[in-house]
A and B are shown apart, each in its own frame.
Chain A
Amino acid sequence: MGWWRRFGGTVRRGGRADREIQEELDHHLALRREAGGKPRRFGNVEAVRERTRDMDVHVWLESWLQDLRQAGRMLRRAPGFTAVVVLSLALGIGANAAIFSLVNAVLLKTLPVPDPQQIFMLQASDGVNAPLAVFSYPVFQQMQKAAGSEADLGASNVVDGMPLLLPGGGRRQVAVQLVSGGYFSALGVEPLRGRWINQQDNRALGASPVAVLSYGFWQRQFGGDAALLGRTITLRGVALTVVGIAPPEFTGLDPANPTSIWTPLMMQQALHAHGNRWSFSAHDDQPWPAQEREFWLGVFARVHDPARAAGLAAALNPAFMASYQRMDPDHASAYRLSLQPGGRGGDSLRRSYGAPLDLLMTLAGLMLLLAIANVTTLLLARMARRRREIAIRLAVGISRGRLARQLLSEGLLLAGLAGTAAVAVAVGVSRLIVRLAADPFQPDLDWRVWAFLGTVALGTGLVLGLLPAWQAQRSSASEALKSGGLSWGRGRGRVPLGRGLIVAQVAFALLLVAGAGLFSRSLAAMFTVNLGFDRAHILTAEMQLPDKGVPAGQLAVLQERILERVGALPGVRAAAWEQSGLDDFSADTSGLSLAGRADPPGGLRAHENTVSSNYFDAVGMPLLHGRNFQATDTAHSRLVAVVNQAFADRFYPSQDAIGKTFGYNQTHSDQFEIIGVVTDARVDDPHTPATPLFYRLREQSDRQTLKLEVRTAGDPAALARAVRATAGAVDARLKVRSVATVSHRLDEMLQRDRLIAQLSGGFGGLALLLACLGVYGVMAYAAAARGVEFGIRMALGAKRGQVMGLVLRETALLLLAGLALGLPLALLAGRWAQPLLPGVAAGDPLTLIAAAVVMAATPLAAALLPAWRAAHADPLRALRAE
């Protein structure tokens, strides 16, 4: 209430308040003079006026404006200082906001559905192996029944790259999601046009050929044509009626992998849609929805009371277990169903970028700390220069509170300017990041980012304002006046905190420079690491079967013919077929049992690949023991397998793996004899060492081997056209879907490493620049302040070199202290970041030494100029100035 009255007073009386106080005091003094009073007790009129004035808020506001204007004047008077401060802060704050916009998009955003906290993803885990996140349709139906009214379940299977016939002819690969009837109603989103896919659409196999399009796809491919509803599109030869359009914000459960077309899961067989799945000897060519052995559906639940999620998992568990027991009796008992919070949607981006973003956020935070330390140093040095001015103002009666407020205003004004500039920096940097990263980032510069930016700017302003204000509180007017303003004196720090801040800056900057070095070395290591095969000379051509398929016998003959023809091309050394590829994550995972041994709970897991017999020679993967596949291994001889070293080490430690047998489970008819061990090739991911993997022979497997690996003598890219033409010419039914070199694909997979290396490199460079600015600023001030001392020294015969040495020695000491603090920090931080530093040790001495040398040499060079100036100043002028 009181506050309002005060404020009302402000509005009513406006700016006259100051004058009124003056008039009131004048009146008093006049009466006292007339009364012949002694000049007593009133004391400092100025101070009384200040204190009286402070009782009124409107005057308070007025004086704030005054302070701001004054701060503005001070900053205008020192344009260089202002520019450096605003720029460093803008870069610091802007970079933080940009990285935060990524954090916001990847880690904080929730799915665009009502009550996202009610969405949970189902998974089954044995606590040892990677959890099982796909389920069969019969199990899904059982679970939906068990959930009753407590939760609505939805199921979907994603198929990347199904061929869609375009209106103008030609084909296009689109991402399709096969969904259960309750998928959309459980999510609770409304269609933009038409209707969703519903329970009616999933009543019988292939009964309802309908499709819902994503908004983006509808716009891009059909120009947002409203008349498309009710018409048909042709997906892999099947005509689907478009019944609805999704709203713009909804692109499925994994925003990083947007879906273009949704269709009922009962269309699986008709569309030959074979997405990711786990199979327990299922019949792939039979309709998947009907098979209990085909685990292919990701399942989510909308739990109406999220607190009941655990209870619900227990209620669904029996339905899952009853079925799983039949699939995998050896290991089923170890599994347990659980519900994982899914309100933030699929986590493919979060998985690969979660840790890097934490790291980048930390680096950006360090940058900001560095910028603040730098700016504070400059501010304090400037304050020291302003001591006399401040002393005079204190002497003429400005209150300490008011002085502190003025200094605070300067800090806030600087932060305000920097915050404004930071908006531009944030927008620029986040655009740059999107360009650098190949992954589908959509950094949203929404209110959260701006709130973050504003908070950081405000906090920065408070730090920048309060520190000098605190300094001013402690300084004594008389002392400052006595000492004549220039009082650095004998190298003792009179820029209080100044030295400490320089040391801190050097330490932080070292951290960032070392980080930049480590990440770029790690990136370089990834480009040269031995992957276990001939990465530089391999071309991969992926073939595509027609919708109707090709009979297995014919396909084998055609593929053999392709190998012959491509192998005969000039410049080609060898060619082979395989199922999974050398550079992707698509290798099947299989549960295994070793003959004559009890399995651990949950069983053993290994990747599995099917290859043609000459595969290892063709891709340059050396055989370590045993023998290769050979002509005597046929469809009718006993099953054989070649395993990698990791497989042998893990499952047969300190034994010879050759001759041992294993199978999918103890009773399964397929039992493989190990005939050879090959080197550990990083076929999944260049970052991580190989995991257990076994190779089956194409002739002994029903898996399709559609990837043609071609090893060339020279540059593989030069043969891309010839390989495409030759392989595609053998039979009209076998088309070449894509041709790419392995090294090109590896480049793409190193996108993330490159992004981190580039950003940390940018941070490192900026850090170095800021540290140089800080050192230059403080040393320039220190040298100027010691002008008198230097003058005397030179008058007494000191050489210029000696004076320069004085300044440089002081700088060097500060730098050394900073390095001594920074190196252990860098070692610690490196250990923390080690998981993101494949191929290089976090404590890599070469990188750390190089960083330390750069960190020592560059700022020392920055101190050369003030040192030279100090040595060449006219000693007489310096002495006279005192």
Chain B
Amino acid sequence: MRLFRKDRLQGTLDLLILKTLSVQGPAHGYAIASHIDRTSEALLQVEEGSLYPALHRLEQAGLIQSEWRISETNRRARYYQLRAAGRRQLADEQEQWRRLVRGVATVLAQEA
């Protein structure tokens, strides 16, 4: 699990994916990217070049699992969904993220 704290940016993408899956339920890669795009009001645009490696990495780490299903547009697509470990990891990461933001915000809020 420590793996994901090594790199803040990579960790952020992981966090966003986990959060999306917890809100949305099972989803394929494109849907995950679109969801992040939409809910961040286009502030965060997911590099698709990073998305799939991240999804596979999370799956290998046992945080999410995947299966092939027929999508709403009647095509075969790979759907990802959270596993229990992923849910725990999400709670963890969220808490850490909040702390980080609070810390950074406090420092930035100081008057010159």
B48 touches A28 (CB 8 A): yes
A41 vs B56: C-alpha distance when bound (angstroms): 19
- Which of B4-12, B14-22, B70-78, B104-112 lies at the interface? B70-78
A396, CB-defined interface residue at 8 Å: no
Interface residues of A in 1-45 (CB under 8 A from B): 2, 5-6, 20-21, 23-25, 27-28, 30-32, 35, 41-44
| Number of residues of chain B lying within 8 A (CB) of chain A | 24
Note all chain B residues with C-beta closer than 8 A to A54: 53
Seen from chain B, the residues whose Cβ lies within 8 Å of a Cβ on chain A are: 28-30, 33-34, 45, 47-49, 52-53, 56-57, 59-62, 68, 71, 73, 75-78
A52 vs B49: C-alpha distance when bound (angstroms): 9
Q: Quick one: which of B33, B59, B62, B75 contacts A30, CB cutoff 8 A? A: B75
A31 touches B62 (CB 8 A): no
Closest chain A residue, CB of each to CB of B47: A41
CB distance from B44 to the nearest CB of A (A): 12
A56, CB-defined interface residue at 8 Å: yes
Main secondary structure on chain A at its contact with chain B?
A: helix
A24 touches B61 (CB 8 A): no
CB distance from A23 to the nearest CB of B (A): 7
B49 touches A43 (CB 8 A): yes
Given known contacts A27-B77, A32-B30, A2 and B52 CB-to-CB distance under 8 angstroms: no
Q: Quick one: which of A5, A21, A42, A44 contacts B62, CB cutoff 8 A? A: A5
A24 touches B78 (CB 8 A): yes
CB distance from A685 to the nearest CB of B (A): 69
A51, CB-defined interface residue at 8 Å: yes
Note all chain B residues with C-beta closer than 8 A to A41: 45, 47-49
A463, CB-defined interface residue at 8 Å: no
A42 vs B52: C-alpha distance when bound (angstroms): 10
A56 touches B49 (CB 8 A): no
**Would you mind naming 26 contact pairs between A and B with Cβ atoms under 8 Å apart?**
A2-B60, A2-B62, A5-B60, A5-B62, A20-B68, A23-B78, A25-B52, A27-B28, A27-B30, A27-B71, A27-B76, A27-B78, A28-B33, A31-B30, A32-B30, A35-B34, A41-B45, A41-B48, A41-B49, A48-B52, A48-B53, A51-B49, A51-B53, A55-B57, A56-B56, A57-B60
Closest chain B residue, CB of each to CB of A32: B30
Note all chain A residues with C-beta closer than 8 A to B61: 2
A47, CB-defined interface residue at 8 Å: yes
Note all chain A residues with C-beta closer than 8 A to B68: 20
Seen from chain A, the residues whose Cβ lies within 8 Å of a Cβ on chain B are: 2, 5-6, 20-21, 23-25, 27-28, 30-32, 35, 41-44, 47-48, 51-52, 54-57
A32 vs B13: C-alpha distance when bound (angstroms): 20
A32 vs B33: C-alpha distance when bound (angstroms): 11
Instruction: Contacts A48-B48, A55-B53, A55-B57 known; list 9 others, CB within 8 Å.
Output: A2-B60, A24-B77, A42-B48, A47-B49, A51-B49, A51-B52, A51-B53, A52-B52, A54-B53
A25 vs B61: C-alpha distance when bound (angstroms): 21
A25 vs B28: C-alpha distance when bound (angstroms): 11
Closest chain A residue, CB of each to CB of B78: A24
A42 vs B53: C-alpha distance when bound (angstroms): 12
Note all chain A residues with C-beta closer than 8 A to B52: 21, 24-25, 28, 48, 51-52
Given known contacts A32-B30, A55-B60, A27 and B53 CB-to-CB distance under 8 angstroms: no
CB distance from B71 to the nearest CB of A (A): 8
Note all chain A residues with C-beta closer than 8 A to B49: 41-44, 47-48, 51
In this complex, the member of A2, A41, A56 whose beta carbon has the largest number of chain B beta carbons within 10 angstroms is A41
Note all chain A residues with C-beta closer than 8 A to B59: 55
A57 vs B57: C-alpha distance when bound (angstroms): 11
A2 vs B62: C-alpha distance when bound (angstroms): 8
In this complex, the member of A2, A51, A56 whose beta carbon has the largest number of chain B beta carbons within 10 angstroms is A51
